[in-house]
Structure 1
Amino acid sequence: MSSLPPIPPAAGSTDPQSTAGAAGPTFSPLYVQIKSLLMQGLESGEWKPGEMIPSEVELAQRFKVSQGTVRKAVDELASEHLLIRRQGKGTFVATHSESKVQFRFLRLHPDAGEPTHPDHFVLDCKRLRAPADIARQLDLKVGETAVVIRRSLHFGGEPTILEEIWLPGPLFKGLTMDRLADYRGPMYALFEQEFAVRMIRCEERLKAVAADEAAAQVLAVPAGTPLLQVERLSFSYNERPVELRKGWYRTDKHHYLNALI
């Protein structure tokens, strides 16, 4: 097991590194410090997606804090969908392979009935120099490559979503059209399993647009049909941008559901 750095000796104590150059001391509750250390373990791969983390008792002994302090830190990570509690089994690192995690990022729901998993059809996958606006959002250097994927998602056999996905080239070496075509699971699970890139949060912008000729052809609608455009920037640990996804959604039989909690 890899070793995480020690925590400060007491709750509410001043972290010398965090106060360097600051006007005054910065205080961090003890559970927040424990949460930060657990995040470091997740980021470093000490506990991989799908694996069980040590019990609260073991973590309390390891960090020399109370079990209640550990529980509060774990509760926050669970509320942020980074950990999953399983009654009678323990606490596990969340993985994109789980159905309820998949629907966290797929927000299109049918107007009637329960949400279902779509069929995916990869239309194109290319590696090219990132355009300036894409490079800026993905924090790429000038001249660095990006992978761009176009695919359609079908619900009940009907094309419903067209997506254009931009990924940082250096993080996704070896991602090809053939690999995507052979994979049958969720795309985020592929990124997690084969490229060690986990999406943990995203920012979205929604806008009503009219279907252009290219989108209309893929989605089997007349040009000019109203569509919902969703632009999503996804982040991994340490607020690192790792995906820019643009989607065009048919909403004649579906709606976009967002629960505010």
Structure 2
Amino acid sequence: MPAPSSDSTTDTGPLATPAFSPLYQQIKALILQSLQAGEWKPGELIPSEIELAGRYRVSQGTVRKAVDELAGDNLLVRRQGRGTFVATHTEQHVRYRFLKLVPDDGDLNREGPAQRRFLECRRTRASAEIARTLGLRSSDAVMQVRRVLSFAGQDGAQVPTILEDLWLPGGPFKGLTAERMASFRGPTYALFETEFGVRMVRAEEKIRAVLPDAEQADILQVPAGTPLLSVERVAYTYNDTPMELRRGLYRTDTHHYRNDLS
């Protein structure tokens, strides 16, 4: 494999912009290529910094800086005395990365895992809007899923709290069924990762307050006219490839949306 270029500027004059990214960013991109290609799968140990430095013909410090950024992006996980591993959605610290609705008392353990009820899981044709969001052609196949997530209330009874609609590209998620999703005990993104080979690495969200229609209010068991939080998420795998459009309606009478900024 050719060594990354260490040139950083052009020779076109004093106002020239950098022609190449910093060296550690080039190494980060090369490691990302290997992750995307599946050379190192979720949960697997990647080569040591010394081995990677030899592979890319750069210093160990350059590799360390690239790995630090990938760890900061939750794509790699450092384990003291064991090495660096590819992050996986089955790990506890990653599991709640995309879970932003938390009970008002802040105790995620009190209400236990969400009870999932699937109302629909079918293969259909993408509308123009869905196709555009997922980078597909109009009428390409998509998987459409509708589910309700319920949490234990103060009296222990399950309270429907989130109504979600998901759209997924039909190709990568061929064979997805409601039964398969319902029987999987871990997070949905862990299912996508372990059974379909699709790892969500980042997401973009749009949040607004809305009023539910009659069907949505009935499913969530709230009076008509109850304000709900609408969260629209596009989740991406490596190389910024969109792999999921998710639209959720959240009750906020006992929960709130929390986002940690850093």
Moved more, 230-239 or 52-61: 52-61
8 Å CA contact retained: 1:7, 1:34: no
Is 2:145 aligned against 1:149? yes
Sort the Cα spacing of 1:114 and 1:195 in 2 relative to 1 into closer, same or farther, 3 A: same
Give ranges in structure 1 of 5+ residues lacking alignment: 16-22
Give ranges in structure 2 of 5+ residues lacking alignment: 11-15, 153-157
Paired residue for 2:26, among 18, 22, 33? Answer: 33
Q: Distance in 2 between matches of 1:75 and 1:224?
A: 48
SS in 2 for 1:34: helix
Matched positions, count = 249
Q: Distance in 1 between matches of 2:2 and 2:30?
A: 9
Q: Distance in 1 between matches of 2:129 and 2:87?
A: 32
1:114-193 aligned within 5 A: 114-116=107-109, 117-156=113-152, 157-193=158-194
Q: Distance in 1 between matches of 2:119 and 2:147?
A: 5
Q: Distance in 2 between matches of 1:14 and 1:172?
A: 43
Sort the Cα spacing of 1:177 and 1:12 in 2 relative to 1 into closer, same or farther, 3 A: same
Give CA deviations for 1:86-139 in whole Å, capped at 9, x if unaligned: 122211111111122121101011110422432222221011111111111011
1:1-261 aligned within 5 A: 5-8=1-4, 10-12=5-7, 26-116=19-109, 117-156=113-152, 157-261=158-262
- State the one-letter code of the partner of 2:164: E
8 Å CA contact retained: 1:14, 1:28: no
TM-score when normalising by structure 2: 0.90
- State the one-letter code of the partner of 1:259: D
Q: Distance in 1 between matches of 2:99 and 2:120?
A: 21
Deviation at 1:24, TM superposition (A): 6.9
Q: Distance in 1 between matches of 2:210 and 2:3?
A: 50
Deviation at 1:27, TM superposition (A): 2.1
Moved more, 212-221 or 186-195: 212-221
8 Å CA contact retained: 1:109, 1:256: yes
Give CA deviations for 1:145-202 in whole Å, capped at 9, x if unaligned: 1111011111212111110000011111111222223222211111111111111111
User: Which residue is 2:13 aligned to?
Assistant: none
Deviation at 1:211, TM superposition (A): 2.0
Q: Distance in 2 between matches of 1:96 and 1:25?
A: 36
Give CA deviations for 1:209-241 in whole Å, capped at 9, x if unaligned: 112222212211112211000000111111111
TM-score when normalising by structure 1: 0.91
- State the one-letter code of the partner of 1:69: T
SS in 1 for 2:166: strand
Moved more, 247-256 or 179-188: 179-188
- State the one-letter code of the partner of 1:138: L
